[in-house]
Structure formats: C-alpha cells, structure tokens
Amino acid sequence: MTSLDKIIASLNDAQREAVTAPGGATLVLAGAGSGKTRVISARVAWHIAQGVPVNQITAVTFTNKAAREMSARIGALVKEVPFVGTFHRFGLTVLRRYRRQLGYHTHPNIIDRGDQLGIVRESLKQLGLQPASWDVGEALSLILEGRTCKAIEGKIRFPRAHGLVPMGVELVEAYEKRLRTLNAVDFDELILVPLRLFHSHPNLFSRVQAGTRYILVDEFQDTNHAQMELVRKLVGEDGTLMAVGDDDQSIYAFRGARVENILRFAESFPDSQTIRLEDNYRSAKPIIELANAIIRSNPDRNDKTLRVRCPFTGSTQLVGASSEEAEADFIAQGVADAIRSGTSPNEVAVLYRANRQANAIELALTQIAIPFRRIGGTSFFERKEVRDALGWLGVLIDGNDDLCFRRAVLAPARGVGEVSLKNLERGATKQKTSLFRTAEKLVDIPGALPNQSISGLKEMISVLKEGRKKLRSAGVSKAFKFVLQQVGYRKYLIHNAETPAEGSRRFHRVMQLADTLDSYVHRDPIEGARAFLDDALLSNANDAVDEDEAMVSLMTLHAAKGLEFDSVFIPGVEEGILPHERSIGNASGLAEECRLMYVGVTRAKKDLTLSYVRKRPQGGPVGEERISRFLRNVGLRPRLVGAPVQEGPTESEKKAMLEIEKLQELLRS
C-alpha cells in the first residue's frame, strides 16, 4: 500500500469525496479544524497518481507559512512537488517569465507598503493636492480599485464614491507612471500582472494557463476581486478547480477580501459541486458547541455545523471583571495556572480585537514574570536597519536599482539630501539611466552637486565597485559584509540607537541576514541574491516569529487565523469592542465581527476563557448589558471577579447627564 493509499484510507467520507472529486469546479467548505491541509495535499498526490503532469498543477494560498507547510506535506507523498505558493509568488513567477513582454527591460524591484504610500504622496503633490488633507492609505485603496478595474475591464473605474474620484484617473496614471520610472512593482501589481497578460498577450496567458489546468486555492474566503477574476481566467472552460475555504472564517474585508466569492461560488462556476467538511479534530466539545451557537445566528452563510471528533475534554467560561486592570490580572493568573498545570507557554495565547487591549495584559504578565511574545508588530524584514541593509545589497548586485540606491545613500547619511537626490533624478531621467550611473558622472562635473554630496557619493561609488570585485571573487555574502563594514554600518546603527547594546543587537540582525544569503546563492550568485530580495519583500510578520523559546503568545484575533493553542483567553467580549463600535449599525460589519469571534473561539483546543469589563471609565452600559450580543443567547453564565461595581451612574455621571438634557432642551426651544 502506497503512502497515498494509506492517507486516503485514513480519511473520513467527506474528505475522501473531496480528494477524489471528478474534474470541473469543486467547492470544499472546510469548517475550523476539519483537516483541510491534509485534504489539499492528498488531492495533489491523487492528481499525480492519476497521471496528471506535475507542471500542470498549481496550489495557491495566502501566507508563506501555509505554503511551506502544504509543500512539506505534499513532498511526503510525491517525488516531485508542483508549484505551491501565495498569489503574490504566483504573480512574481509570471512577471519573471514574461517581464520583457510586459514592458520591463530589467528585473523590476518589489516595493512594500511604506514605499507605496510615499509614491501616493508624490502623486497627490503632482496633481496639486496636499497629502496632509487626505487619508493616504485610503487614497492607495482607491488607486488599487481603479487599477483592478483597468486590469479586468480595460479601463480605470471606481466602484465606490470618494472625494478623490474626480481626479482618480489622473491619480492612478501618476502612480503607475512613478512605478515605471522606478522600474518597480508593488504587491497589488503582482496579482494584476497575469490579468494584464490575459488582455495584452492572450497567447502567453495560455502558456500560464497550461500550468494551472489543475488548480487548488486554499482560504478561498479571503480572495479579493482581482484574485477571484484571476482564478476564473486560469480555470477557463475546461480547467479543474478545487476551492477550499470557510465563509464563517472570512475576516479580512478591510484588506479587500470578499465573502461573496465563496457564498456565490455556484454562480461563478455553474456546474460546480459543494462538499462539506464538518468534523472538527481540534477542539473539545464545549468549545465546538459554543462556536456553533455563536455563528448559527449569522445571516447569509453556507449552512454547516461542526461535529466533535477530538478525544480530550475541555472547558469554556465567561468572566466579568470589575475593571480593565482586574481583567488583565485575572488573565495573567489564568495563564500562570495553565502553565503550572503542565501546559507549555507556547500552547497559551491571549487574543484581542484591538492592539490597545494588550497593554494592560502585558503589564500584568510582566508583574508575575511570565515571558510572552507580542505577535503582529514590526516583522524582521520591516525593521529599518534590515530594510536599509537590503538597500545596500540591492545596489551592490544591480547598479540600476534606483529604489535600493535611494535607501542606501541615506544610511549612513553621507551629505546627500533631497536637493541632491532631485538633481540626480533629473539627470537620470534626462540621460535615461540609473541614479548610480548618473552619480558616477555628476561627481566629476564641478558644481553639479554640493561639495559635501560629491564627497559622500564618491565614497559610496568606490565601496560598491570594490564590493563588486569581492562579489566575483568571494561570493555575495562576503561582498555584502565587506560593503557594510566599509561604510561603517555597525557604527552608524550604534550611534543612532538609544543604547549601544540596542545598536549592537540591530547589527547582529543584519549579520543574520547576510548569513542567510548563502542558502540562496549556491548556483547563480546574482540571481540567488535577487531571489533573496524578492523573498524578503514577500515575507510577512508571522513568518518572522521565533517559536523555539517557550513564551505565551499575545496577538490580535486577525493575526490568530490559522493557529491553534491548548488554552486561549479572549478579553473584551463586549459591545463596542467585539463587535467593534465601527461595525454597530452596519449589517455586513456585524456579520464579520461575529465571524471574528468564531475564529477566536475555534483557536482553542482544550480551554477557553472569554472576559469582559463590567464598567468602563468612559461610561456606557454597566454589568451584563456590556456583554457582546454574540454571547447573549449561548448559555454562558458570567463569573464575576474583582471589586463590586455600581450598576447605575455615579453622582458625577448623573450631573453630566442632567447638563446634557438641559442643553438638548435649550437647542429644541
């Protein structure tokens, strides 16, 4: 019996039906903890066992971590693993293959959100608008909407109202022109690239399509408009699609995810079939019963009910604390009790709706000496010292990389300010060359740049030329370290840190970065280094989490998606927090908040504690009236902790209310 035969024999009926489903489109509604990754891995192996060539299979998901896990599981079943990666990785692969046809003469740079926002500000200024007068992040979202419509429909259009819409077309064009000038693409462009290829080079798109005759999409409920359209185009008329997801876990609308993609799947793929995975192998019975009760009342969802299949017992409790501090102290003590009872700190998590909730909990854990990691902050590759070092690496291996040049020339500072950079940019545009090549010429022209800038640029050019000699003789990693040493990067980090020790830690991170390079450059040093830079920019915060050290995890409910822990604490299950105050009065917003609580609850394997504060200093309801609407009819009776709270308003609150009533009466008269 083969490994695949053993896997298929061990599946339950619904899982087996999904793995062996016939061609065409299949939607697998995979409830929390129902073994979806196992199903996807077995499905890929089953395709290969049926004679499907590996180069016709593609599996896409949403995080690098999920892609690595999926790839490892598939690798245990087959000799050759097909493409397994994120949507962005897929788009990058297409871009690398057809960059010339798409108008890129050299390998384009990938920019992150910080650089995107900078380009939006420049574009607004170019149109005579003041960036300070607009929400730049919202402007970026509008630009994405216009670009998505352009890629799908062939013209820039904006589906929703916004104050910038009257100048929206010009804004999109200015943004895209700046990207082209920088020879850059952003994360959004990586999704749009295959769609543009579909319209501009249908013959080339058909080649891409040949590699996705059998396509599997994980976390389908998280797809946005462009990703859904890309899947439709790739599947075409005769492709085989397995979309795996759970509408009850659709929680990323703020990133553009559209739950209707999974709810209306049958409309997009009329001859499709739907298979439900409802057996939960993760959580104890009390947790599953609570999860079902919470999500059952949510409108407009695919009907499914989780069934308990795990062997161990567990518990759920709802706690009402007298204050935020009392809630944090109770959680900290609960964490300590769980660890004392034998639960590993790595198996304990505190999940909250908003980052501000973590402050009191961090303090309470610190006071009783419980180590914790706060996940979802600045990732390794988002740290300034790392991004600046990557700038030096980029301009070392490619003198045409203007984005990396701009970052490197400012770290350490070398007398090159915005005026000198503008002069360099003008020269580069006029000569149709890079900033580095322009700098090489201008430093020898008297008066072209300020003397201080000339001195700094000459030093930079000299170091990079020496570095490139080292690159050829000693390899990328040693050349990179040489350049950082020559420009005084360690001294620069120590000088700019709050303490020398912190500066040394930052430099140590950069050296870790340099050491990692060796694993990429064993074949082609330059291409390996470029692949390393791409991977660094495509990474996400959760990929950088060090799980070797035993620590309690603190993170938002959104960041917890896809994770599981023996013991979970969810604070702030109250009106105005969960559901968030912005969602109250908005039906779709409330539905997503309900799904968010469901996701949090189903992260717990054994023990789950939900808590709320019975009275907040800023006022509002008091006592049980504060409890989240999602928990009012699920059979949980609150356990009260902390000092008693006054159920009615205080004297000062009564006086304030009286003054408000007087003012309202005055306004009516």
Neighbours of 440 (CB within 10 A): 17
Residue 159 to residue 583: CA distance in whole angstroms: 21
Neighbours of 112 (CB within 10 A): 15
The one catalytic residue in 63, 116, 223, 249 is 249
**Residue 83 is inside which H or E element, if any?**
strand 83-86
Hey, what are 659's tokens? 């003054």
Q: How far is CA 235 from the centre of its chain?
A: 25
Where are the alpha helices (H) located in 251-348, listed in sequence order?
Answer: 260-263, 265-268, 285-296, 324-340
Type of residue at 227: Q
The one catalytic residue in 17, 37, 69, 433 is 37
Q: Is-contact 527 397, C-beta < 8 A?
A: no
Residue 262 to residue 27: CA distance in whole angstroms: 8
* Bridge partners (DSSP) listed for residue 659: none
The one catalytic residue in 145, 188, 189, 219 is 219
Residue 626: name the closest of 324, 296, 363 by CA: 324
Q: Spell out where 470-560 has E strands.
A: 552-556
Neighbours of 181 (CB within 10 A): 13
For the question of residue 218 being annotated catalytic, the response is yes
Q: Is-contact 261 220, C-beta < 8 A?
A: yes
Type of residue at 90: F
* Beta-sheet pairing, 372-374 with 315-321: unpaired
Residue 279 to residue 289: CA distance in whole angstroms: 13
Hey, what are 654's tokens? 């009564």
The one catalytic residue in 15, 16, 26, 36 is 36
Q: How far is CA 593 from the centre of its chain?
A: 19
The one catalytic residue in 188, 189, 218, 347 is 218
Residue 361 to residue 212: CA distance in whole angstroms: 47
Assign residue 608 a region (left: φ > 0; alpha: ψ between -120 and 50; beta: otherwise): beta
Instruction: Look up tokens 């996807």; give the residue.
Output: 40
Q: Is-contact 353 557, C-beta < 8 A?
A: yes
Residue 403: name the closest of 30, 26, 106, 24 by CA: 106
For the question of residue 80 being annotated catalytic, the response is no
The one catalytic residue in 73, 603, 606, 626 is 603
Q: Is-contact 520 532, C-beta < 8 A?
A: yes
Neighbours of 172 (CB within 10 A): 21
Which residues form the catalytic set?
36-37, 218-219, 249, 603
